[in-house]
Homo-oligomer: A and B are copies of this chain.
Amino acid sequence: MTTEDREAIGQAQIRALIDLRVQAVRAKDIDGAMATVAPDVLSFDVVNPLQSIGSSAIRKRLEEWFSSFKGLIGHEIRDLKIYVGDGVAFSHGLNHVIGTTLDGKNVDMWWRSTVCYRKIEGEWMITHEHNSVPFDVESGRASLDLKP
């Protein structure tokens, strides 16, 4: 298999992984969203703390986050780019979520997401994830209402 073949296959595999995860978020399907997350994943999340180690921290956050929404979640990724090497890959994009919280507040938020993958026992797994919003220097507040 040539490097080009391997890259094309890797691209398709990572894209499928991301598509399934987007669908899992929309459906608030925790197991679906966690299926491709490595047990020892290192996560930099949008909210505190500074970092989390292990998939159980991400699962707990997703459970809290999913259950804060009334009904399903609108979710898309814009400007998604995927780069695949031999056993190592990364993707980045702007993640968008739209929904209504249990207390009736409308959520319409964009954040930056960088996801890093490694092939473990023949399967692509998310071993690192970095999600964030920037902050405004003047106010010191997180910028939750930026649009691309």
Chain A interface residue bracket vs B: 35 or more
Which of chain B's residues have a CB closer than 8 A to the CB of A141?
135, 140-142
Partner of A86, one of B47, B86, B90: B86
| A70 interface residue per 8 A CB criterion | no
| A133 interface residue per 8 A CB criterion | yes
| A44 interface residue per 8 A CB criterion | yes
When the two chains form their complex, are residues A42 and B81 in contact, meaning their CB atoms are under 8 A apart?
Answer: yes
A135 in contact with B48 given A85-B89, A87-B85, A140-B144 (CB within 8 Å): yes
A47, A94, A130: which has the most chain B beta carbons within 10 Å?
Answer: A130
Binding site for B on A (CB under 8 A): 3, 42, 44-51, 79, 81, 83-90, 92, 94, 110, 112, 114, 116, 118, 127-128, 130, 132-137, 140-144, 146-148
